[in-house]
Each structure stands twice: as C-alpha cells, then as structure tokens.
Chains A and B, each alone.
Chain A
Amino acid sequence: MNILSEHGFRQDGRRPNQIRNINCKLGVYSQADGSAYLEQGNTKVLCAVYGPHDSRQRSRIHEDRCIINCQYSMATFSTVERRERPRGDRRAVEFARLMEKVFESAIITTMYPCSQIDIFCELLQGDGSHLATCVNAATLALADAGVPVYGIVAAVSSACSLGGVACVDVSAREEMAIVPRLTVATLMNQDQIVLIELENRVHHQHLEVVMKSACEASEKVRSCLKTAIGSHISSALGLASNDVNSA
C-alpha cells in the first residue's frame, strides 16, 4: 500500500516534506521543576522533569557526572485499542533507553556529579511518531527547568514510500502500512545527530534520501521549539514585549 497518492499528496493532505501542526505549553505542572505539553498533529505528550536531585539508588551514582533517568508510558486510552499495561513493556523500555542516550548527549552532565535528572513522558494520544514527539516534549521541559544543555534537541520521524520518496512526520495511518520508518534527533543544527532509529528494511540508496529529509524537517521542528521557548521565557521573566528583542 502506497502512502503517497499519484498526485504527490499523503492521506491527510500533506506534502512529503511537510510536518504536522505543533502546539505546546510549557510550565503545566507547578510541582515539577520543568514541564511541557506538546501536540504534533494528533500525538499528544505530557512531560515532566525533576532534578538535578539526590539519587536514591546509590549503586547508580556516578562521581563525575549526573545520570539521566527516563520513563516512557502510554495512557491506557491513548490508542485505538485499550492498553492493559501503560508502561514496562519492551517497546516502552526501549524508548526510555533511547531517550536516555539522547539527553546524555544533550545535557551537560558534568555540572552535577552524584545527582540524577528524571524525565517522565506520558503519551496522552497516539497518532504516530511517538518517540519523536516525546523527545521534543522533553526538550521543552528541560528548557522550562533551566537545565544546561548544549542545544535544543529536535526529533522527527521519516518514512520511505514505495517510490523512494521520503515523507516526514509519519502519522499512525502511515505507520500501519509497514513502511521503513526512521526517527532522527538533531542537536544545535541538522548536522549533529544524537538519535537514529530505523524500523523495517530499507534499501541503502533510499536511506540517504530519508535521512536527509528527516534532518531538514528537524530544522523546522527546532524553529517551532525555539519560538515556544522564547515566548515562554519572555512571559516567565515578566518582560514587556517592547523591552526585549528576541534573538
């Protein structure tokens, strides 16, 4: 089944290189150090960040850097079929480990030895690109918490259609077509890749096209995240709009 129509449009009417609408809100929890709510199309994620705080598991303490602890869970009502187990299955653990690797590269961990940063992601509604949306929500939550990072992590997924055309920001209906799917996260610019995850098989000539398209789409996601963080910083610091020019 081809996810691209003969006129070059996808099932929801997008072009191949077009991402879905991004809505977000930072600072949704008052008891968390940083929190964010993010929608990418119909995929909705809540993320909370706690820390750096004292690590309760003494065996995991590193004396030269802090450890990143991620948890990914899907709400029981988040998919079409009700899930009996919101977290702890193999896919959720895999996503949590992938996110830990991403933010170990992004967060300046050497500033807080012997401590721990917790990132909790909850998927409220799933419509494809779950891992990418969780990484973007965690980036917003870390910016709300003021944790020092090297850059803004922007993640996006990309799929390869039958004709070798790359379609970015895959939705759930496109995921059901069992096409090769790639999730890429970039740091600071599109040349620094901190996450690559590939599902299903893809020809190596198509892989380069899909990778390049995903990196370009992550720049669009990053500009959306930058706008959101900039406006949140201006409102949180109590700045009048005419006092400050945003970078």
Chain B
Amino acid sequence: MRSEVVLPGDVVNLDKNDASATQVIVGCGFDHCFNEEGDQLLVVQPGLKICANGKQWILTHSRRYIPCNGDRVLGVVTSTHGDAIKVDIGSADQAFLNFLSFEGATKSNRPNLKVGDLLFASIKFASKHLEPELTCVDDDGRARGLGVLPTSGFTFNTSLNLVRRLLSPTSKLLSLIGRDLKFEITCGLNGRIWINGQNTKEIIAIYHMIQESESVAEPDIPRFIERKMRLLQGFPVEDTVVTPMNIDP
C-alpha cells in the first residue's frame, strides 16, 4: 500500500504494479482517463492517493456527503406524510424511505415515527439524478442495528474522513475510550455521530475526544486519549507528553 498527497489537476499513472489483479479498480477522486492510451488519470479532489491490492482511490477531507449505495447513514426525519418518509441525511437531496422498510412493519402495523426522530438507515439506491432511497432492513427483513435511535444521547457532525477513520478496523480510538468509559456510539458515513454515555459529563468528554482526534496522527492516539482521560478525572497533565500533533485545549 502506497500513499501520497495529490492535488486537483495532477495527472497520475494507472497503478498496474499488482500482478495478481487482472483489472484495476479506480475509486473516487479521479476523472476519466487522460490520454489516448488510457493509462493516466486526472485528480479532481485534493487528498491522499492510496494504491493497494489493485485498487486506487483518493482519501479526501470533506464535510458534504454524497450518497453511495450500501452506505449506512444517520438521518433526521423531516416529513412523515403519506407512504414515503422524508429523511435529511445532509446530502444535496433529501432521502426518502418507505414505511414498509422497517423490521416487522406492515400496512396495519406502522412504525411510530415523528418529525425530528433520528434514523440509522442503509442506502438502498443512490444516483445523481434521483433522490436516494433508504431502508432499515437487510435482504432477509432483519434490522441488524438499523432503525430509530433512542431519544437520549448526543448527535454531532464531523467530517467524512473522521467517520471513516473511526470505522476503520485499524483505528484504536473507540476501544481506548471504551477501556475507561461505558458508552454507545453510532457512526453514520454522512459525518454524523450519535453517542450516549452514563452521564452528561462523560458524553461531553467523549464528544471532545472524538472531535479533536481528527488532526491527531494514528500513532499518537494512545497518548492523546491518556491525556484526555487524566483531564476528565481531574488529574494534572504532564506537559512532557504533549507532541506537536496534539491539540491543546
């Protein structure tokens, strides 16, 4: 896996180094092939170009969400009239959701939804020409964690890159927080995060840890969490452990 920072307007070569891959998969952040041979790509978004296992894509820093098929997003119900439920997922268009897309929902057994409810849903169909369609069940009709979230807790917006970092299996942030604090968290790929803890003070502390960890490099996360935990428990913080990547409150 190789990575480098690229900027819009750069022309990069198609990565064909992986001999085991029969075809190269080009992800987001690139435009069409640039020359006649078709082995060059135009970078259209600033970010980190990653090449791994026959795929290449650009990891960008963005706050506006573009719907993709299969993404799990957090949305706010904005309208419950009729059969279609309008949900705001922070994209250019509002998403809609059929009331039968909940677990165990029938025409006589409707889900109890109100305007302002928080939904964790999966995007069933997303196109740039149509409004995205959501669903709260999988193909077998099971919810598997999707549906209406509880009314307690705290919801905030982050950048899309931070949510992808939290959901990455290599990220240690949530497990390090969970070592000392009990909390629930739901990360939507549209940059919205819902957290719930045992009391308000811990919820606020978790919120600040997640928000400020965006500019902390991954090897510095353990020291960052240790510092935040000491602040939360009222212990003095030793200034010698501060690295330039850390955020000073």
> Interface of A with B (CB < 8 Å)?
33-34, 51-54, 63, 66, 108, 111-115, 143-152, 187-189, 226, 229-230, 232-240, 243-247
Contacts and interface: CB of A to CB of B under 8 A. Distances in A.
B5 A238 contact: no
Given A146-B45, A238-B165, 9 more contacts: A52-B64, A53-B92, A146-B60, A150-B44, A189-B9, A236-B61, A238-B215, A240-B217, A247-B4
A34 B46 CA distance: 13
Interface residues of B, number: 40
B237 interface: no
B128 A112 contact: yes
A114 B48 contact: no
A236 B214 contact: yes
Which 6 residue pairs of A and B lie closest in terms of their CB atoms, listed nearest first? A146-B62, A151-B9, A115-B92, A240-B217, A148-B44, A236-B61
A12 B48 CA distance: 40
Nearest to B62: A146
B18 interface: no
Contact of B5 (A51, A144, A149, A233): A233
Interface of B: 3-10, 29, 31, 42, 44-48, 59-64, 66, 92-94, 128-129, 159, 161, 165, 213-220, 245
Interface centre among B9, B45, B62 (most CB of A within 10 A): B9
A33 B217 contact: no
A152 to B, nearest CB: 5
A38 B129 CA distance: 35
Contacts of A150: 8-9, 31, 42, 44
Contacts of B165: 238
